[in-house]
A and B are shown apart, each in its own frame.
Chain A
């Protein structure tokens, strides 16, 4: 029996600071785009799942499954939200993958959504912090950027990563997003500007960090044997793997490696009978630029410690051996927390279908996405193929 679950269609609302739209509007928009793109009649959808980290704190609303089904007029289908901090989107995809593969559902609408700009900065910072260990990290004054700053400082000490290395992912991702009309930021940013931007938590600066974003993304996923009914250009989720690690960063043996990523990536490649060199395009979770540097190492693009150098050499540019974050990544595409995991798969699907326009990786056939929760307590990896 095949392990593949098909993606019949993808859709995404533009990411940004969207004053006119609330969470319902965003979810509906992404859902509709995905359904139109799939060409699937609404009545064929027999279930829905929505990835969202904290609608309760950001907007005061929970019970999003019911909300989304209601908004979309999708009848009485079963639906609920799943949460894994910043990996909520990946978790939603994983949920649908398991539901369809096991035969419980035939065709599901998968959404990822977050509305972050309706609260003030303190409330936003504190809510983001609950992705870490609130009682023993956040409450003592460790903001989320401070936790990634701990990793950056150790990485600089253990491997000689420099301040310039920290700026490289931002420069690359913004340059990529110039060609992504749905990205929050579509302007290139010069290296000097990144390196001179304000400090959030030494050594991490404002321009090393993903922004606060409103947005939603969606997929229509269905049984492999049903997808040709809807589209001639299906892509497939070949495997879904997830690993957990300690919630608090201070409980990890090393803070310069995401062990959850190393093991979930290895596991995914093995399940798909692939090696990393077979992957043509990647989406790696860059909540902070040091995150992309570490992930470049942890998925195996280069040796541990060489992430900065790999970026210097252009290996992860669109024309390079392992293009990373052709969409602009979390930094430039934006990071509406629950939507990101789904947006990553939207990008990989577009790449594999040849629909990525000026950011197209030629002949892309296999894609890999890593979606991380918190400081690496959750890692969800999906491999997408043609």
Chain B
């Protein structure tokens, strides 16, 4: 028996650390997280591993002001649906920005952050968050 969700987290490490999903070669749709079956093609689908570039824009967002205990220290924080350049969307926090400055359409890129901890003695879950593209992300303004 795995303690405290370690196996549940470990299974998803490649996806959470590097935004690794897959792409159906039959219909050219990108999926994140990787899907075992292409919903469009089903048996005719041909899924290959694909690592997303990590760039995209904000599709919608909210500023969370009431959160469960493990997120309290970060409140208020921005959570958003990010539309990656490949067309796929995912849900992630937006960091390195003042909540007032976030807008739909903002260009963002993936960074590596702590997502949560299973208590002070438990494992630390790392994964993706997004930040606005700027000089320190290697993008010229």
B22, CB-defined interface residue at 8 Å = no
Chain A proximity mask over B40-71: 1 for CB below 8 Å, otherwise 0:
00000000000000000001111111111111
Interface string of A96-139 (1 = CB under 8 A from B): 00000000000000000000000001100110000001011101
Pick from B33, B65, B79: contact of A141, CB below 8 A: B79
Residues of chain B contacted by A135 (CB below 8 angstroms): 8, 12, 33
Contact A255 B62 (CB under 8 A): no
Considering the complex, give the chain B residue whose CB is closest to the CB of A129: B68
Q: Does A278 contact B (CB under 8 A)?
A: no
Set of chain A residues within 8 Å of B68, measured between Cβ atoms: 121-122, 125-126, 143
Provided the pairs A140-B92, A250-B91 are in contact, do residues A201 and B66 lie with their beta carbons within 8 angstroms? yes
Determine the distance from Cα of A301 to Cα of B33 in the docked complex, in whole angstroms: 37
Question: Please, which residue of chain A has its CB at the minimum distance from the CB of B92?
Answer: A140
- Measured between alpha carbons, how far is A140 from B92 in the docked complex, in Å? 6
With a cutoff of 8 Å between Cβ atoms, the chain A residues found around residue B132 in the complex are none
Is A145 interfacial (CB-CB < 8 Å)? yes
Residues of B in contact, count (CB < 8 Å)? 31
Total of A-B residue pairs, C-beta within 8 Å: 93
B14 at the interface (CB under 8 A from A): no
- Select which of A139, A146, A157, A204 is within 8 A of B116 by beta carbon: A139
Give the chain B neighbours of A145 by CB distance below 8 A: 62, 64, 66
Residues of A within 8 A of B71 (CB): 141
Measured between beta carbons, the chain B residues less than 8 angstroms from A199 are 63, 65-66
Which of A140, A143, A154 meets B66, CB within 8 Å? Answer: A143
Q: Are the CB atoms of B79 and A146 closer together than 8 Å?
A: yes
Q: Mark B119-132, 1 if CB is under 8 A from A, else 0.
A: 00000010100000
A134 to chain B, nearest CB (A): 10
B103 → A minimal CB distance (Å): 10
Q: Which of B8, B65, B90 has a CB less than 8 Å from the CB of A201?
A: B65
Q: Which of A136, A139, A198, A255 is packed against the most chain B CB atoms within 10 Å?
A: A139
The distance in angstroms between the C-alpha atoms of A201 and B93, with both chains bound, is: 13
Contact present for A255 and B67 (CB under 8 Å): no
User: B39's closest neighbor in chain A, by CB?
Assistant: A246
User: With A126-B68, A139-B116, A141-B67 in contact, is A149–B89 under 8 Å at CB?
Assistant: no
Chain A residues with CB under 8 Å of chain B are 121-122, 125-126, 133, 135-137, 139-143, 145-146, 149-151, 153-154, 157, 198-204, 248-251, 255
A-B contact pairs, 25 of them (CB 8 A): A121-B68, A133-B91, A136-B33, A136-B90, A136-B91, A140-B92, A140-B115, A141-B71, A141-B74, A141-B77, A146-B64, A150-B61, A154-B59, A157-B104, A198-B66, A200-B66, A201-B79, A202-B62, A202-B65, A250-B89, A250-B90, A250-B91, A251-B89, A255-B60, A255-B81
